[in-house]
Amino acid sequence: MTRDPDDATPAENLPSRIDIGSSLVNRARGGLRVSDDETENKDAFLEHSASTHELFSHLFDGFDNPVDTLYDCLSALSVNKEVKVAREPDGRLYGPAIFRIHYEGHEYVPHVNHVGLDDKLFNYEVSRFTHQFAGLICIQNSTHEGSSPQAVIDRCVWSPEVHSHLSNGTYYEYAAQNKIEQQQIEVQPGDFYLFNSGCIHRVAPVEGNTPRTVLATFIGYSEDDDEIFVWA
């Protein structure tokens, strides 16, 4: 399910990130899509999500369930709203969360995560929400002694202009010219952190042989909606 970071196999022949769970964007838009047909991709994603629910139903036997802990944290933060696993109107569930294991060199360049604004997955029920957040639990940090932030978040939300700079690789220049503020997040194992994933954010490359591991979710929220949907 994972790889040995001390494996002598050349790094370029090994994945720099391993996911345990069902990623909506990867299966709807990314390299894990099954075809160019959106309905087929949606059915495949929801089928894979069902297998994730089955795996997670026994994966934590004998241990505290970190997925339950994450949902409990979100419920405690919610006021007069019901936190639940995202689902389609026919009742089919999305994956509840995803483990992401990052090996040396893996990084996230400046980007946003928003199914409506950026990914434009309007055929999925989660696109109904105005706001999208990322909620994560740090499972393990890399052992590198230098600064290895979980994320750097800019005070800059998605817009067509910002999107063009992200696509063209000129966002750093844009941010400098516009004096965009940023906040660095550094956490320890067991910490839960939440941020607006519609803001531009990035994660520096992992350094050292110990993988950085998180339990990650996305959260859909609208002021006038009684439900908060959570997915991976």
Q: What is the pLDDT of residue 23?
A: 97
**What whole-number distance in Å separates Cα of residue 88 and Cα of residue 50?**
13
Q: What is the pLDDT of residue 60?
A: 96
* Beta carbons within 8 Å of 165's beta carbon, 6+ residues apart: 171, 173, 174
Q: What is the pLDDT of residue 112?
A: 96
Q: What is the pLDDT of residue 8?
A: 60
**What whole-number distance in Å separates Cα of residue 41 and Cα of residue 184?**
35
Q: Which helix (H) or strand (E) holds 72?
A: helix 66-77
| CB contact at 8 A, 188 and 101 | no
| CB contact at 8 A, 108 and 219 | no
Q: What is the pLDDT of residue 6?
A: 66
pLDDT tens sequence for the chain (232 residues): 566 666 666 566 688 999 999 999 999 887 777 778 888 999 999 999 999 999 999 999 999 999 999 999 999 999 899 999 999 999 999 999 999 999 999 999 999 999 999 899 999 999 999 999 999 999 999 875 555 567 899 999 999 999 999 999 999 999 999 999 999 988 899 999 999 999 999 999 998 888 999 999 999 999 999 999 999 9
Q: Locate the domains of the chain by residue range.
A: 13-231
What is the separation of C-alpha 138 from the centre of its chain, rounded to a whole number of angstroms? 12
Tokens standing for 67?
A: 């997925």
- The domain 13-231 is classified under which CATH number: 2.60.40.10, 1.20.120.420, 1.20.120.450, 2.60.120.620? 2.60.120.620
Q: What is the pLDDT of residue 15?
A: 87
Q: What are the start-end ranges of the H helices in 116-208?
A: 160-168, 171-177
Q: What is the pLDDT of residue 103?
A: 94
| CB contact at 8 A, 211 and 140 | yes
- List the beta bridge partners of residue 228: 83
Q: What is the pLDDT of residue 163?
A: 96
Q: What is the pLDDT of residue 148?
A: 57
